[in-house]
Every structure is written in C-alpha cells, then in structure tokens.
C-alpha cells in the first residue's frame, strides 16, 4: 500500500489519514543549474522533467489533486530571456503531454490570471482544459501568473457583488474552489516561506520543507512527505 492510500485515525479527537490534495512550491531550478555551471534554462528544463515524473507519481499514489507553483505574478521581474525560456517550455509541455493527460484520465486546471499570458498560450491552455474537463482521475492544477493575495482580493470582490462577505463566500470564489481542501504543502530547495502561494488554502494545511532542489525531487521524496503527513495529528484548532 502506498503512503497516500493508507488512512488511519488517532482515537483522541484529532485526525490523520489520507491526503487528497498536495501542493508544491517547485524551487531550486536556477541553483541546480548553477551548481553544474550551466545556464538557468538548463535547470528549468530539468525541472519540467521532474514535473512529469511527480505528476505521474501523484496519479499512481491516488492523489485527487496536485497543485504546482509554476510561474508567480512576481516572476515577471525576472530577465526577459528567462521569461521567454519559461514560456517556451510551457508551450512545449502542453503540446507534448496533453495526449498523456487525456489517455490517463488526468484533468488539467490552471489557477491564476493565465489569460494575461500570450494569446497562443491562452488558446493552448483553454484547449487543454476543455479536452480534459470530463476526466475524473487526478487533477493537475498549474499556478500560472498566480499570486495568492491577488486571488483573495479577486475572490472577495466577487463575493461582495453577490452578497455578504464571509469566509465561505470568499472560498467559493477562489481559483481552487473546484479542488479538494489543501492537505499538504511542500517546498523544495531549503527555503521556508510560502511566497504568496495558496495563503488562504494553507490555513490548516500541513507543511513539509526539504533541502532537495526541485530537479532532484523524486517520487520517493513525495512518498516520504506523504508518510510524514499520515503520521501527523491534525486538530484544526481543536484539542
């Protein structure tokens, strides 16, 4: 039995068990490349290979949703050539992997203001989401041009247009409203911060930080994080 497939209860009012939704801040591509005296683009390309490997592992482990932080709203501050490389890799990823998503019952979702990206990328994204919309296996959610503070502000504004602003009303308008509640948030590369990622959703999520750089992150690391998640007691503010 894989760690994520197991489920147990502690018997003391808290709960531990199966993770349904895992999110990952994929950090360390640039440092991985620098250690090898290679350009940052080389690290990003290896990082894309890791995305494929971890997405497949998440499906095999039975996760309902995997959310990956691919490009933040702050990443526009990076050099133009690096942004161009990242957008090119995004195009390649969608073209090369869409048929695998379709064949393996994976649903693709995008969170963030992806419509601000180049028109051809927007068209590719919307086609990919449409073609996988009926799939009911693992949902792979990619955060593109995403910032959690901006997401919360948008959600609160939409909630206000409909009536009273309550936590429930805001949550219903978040980009992740179609996903299960976030159980576990992972960050690679040794950094210990959320970097404007899923701030609302992470309110009661478990956190797991590792020094492993994203291109070196393997299914075994994901399994380790899930095993630790299962062992933790989640009380959600209770005793």
Sign of CA dihedral 113, 119, 120, 124: positive
In the set 75, 104, 135, 196, the catalytic residue is: 75
Candidate list 27, 85, 175, 183, residue with the active-site label: 27
The predicted model scores a pTM of 0.91
The pair of structure tokens assigned to 43 is: 């690290």
Q: What pLDDT, on the 0 to 100 scale, is given for residue 233?
A: 78
Q: Phi first, then psi: what are they for 143, rounded to 5°?
A: -90, 115
pLDDT lower than 50: segments of the chain: 1-16
Q: Which DSSP category does 73 fall into?
A: T
pLDDT of residue 14: 41
The answer to whether residue 29 is catalytic is: no
> How high is the pLDDT of residue 159?
98
Specify which residues 187 forms β-bridges with.
Answer: 25, 209
Model confidence over 33-69: pLDDT tens digits?
A: 999 999 999 999 999 999 999 999 999 999 999 999 9
Q: Active-site residue 75, yes or no? A: yes
For the domain 3-10+17-147+181-231, what is the CATH code? 3.40.1180.10
Q: What is the pLDDT of residue 214?
A: 98
User: What residues form DSSP beta bridges with 208?
Assistant: 186
Q: Distance between terminal CA atoms of the chain?
A: 30
């Amino acid at each position: 039995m894989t760690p994520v497939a197991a489920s147990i209860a502690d018997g003391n009012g808290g709960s531990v068990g199966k993770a349904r939704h895992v999110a990952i801040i994929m950090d360390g591509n640039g440092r991985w490349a620098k250690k090898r005296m290679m350009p940052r683009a080389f690290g990003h390309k290896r990082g894309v290979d890791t995305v494929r490997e971890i997405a497949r592992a998440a499906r095999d482990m039975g996760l309902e949703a995997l959310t990956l932080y691919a490009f933040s709203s702050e990443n526009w501050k990076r050099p133009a050539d690096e942004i161009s490389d990242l957008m090119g890799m995004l195009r390649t990823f969608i073209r090369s992997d869409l048929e695998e998503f379709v064949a393996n019952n994976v649903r693709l979702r995008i969170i963030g203001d992806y419509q601000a990206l180049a028109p051809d990328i927007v068209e590719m994204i919307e086609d990919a989401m449409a073609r996988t919309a009926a799939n009911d296996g693992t949902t792979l959610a990619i955060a593109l041009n995403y910032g959690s503070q901006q997401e919360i502000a948008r959600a609160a504004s939409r909630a206000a247009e409909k009536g009273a602003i309550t936590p429930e009303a805001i949550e219903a308008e978040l980009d992740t409203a179609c996903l299960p509640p976030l159980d576990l948030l992972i960050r690679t590369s040794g950094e210990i911060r959320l970097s404007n990622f899923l701030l609302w959703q992470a309110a009661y999520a478990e956190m797991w930080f590792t020094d492993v750089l994203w291109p070196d992150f393997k299914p075994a690391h994901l399994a380790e994080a899930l095993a630790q998640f299962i062992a933790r007691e989640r009380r959600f503010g209770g005793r």
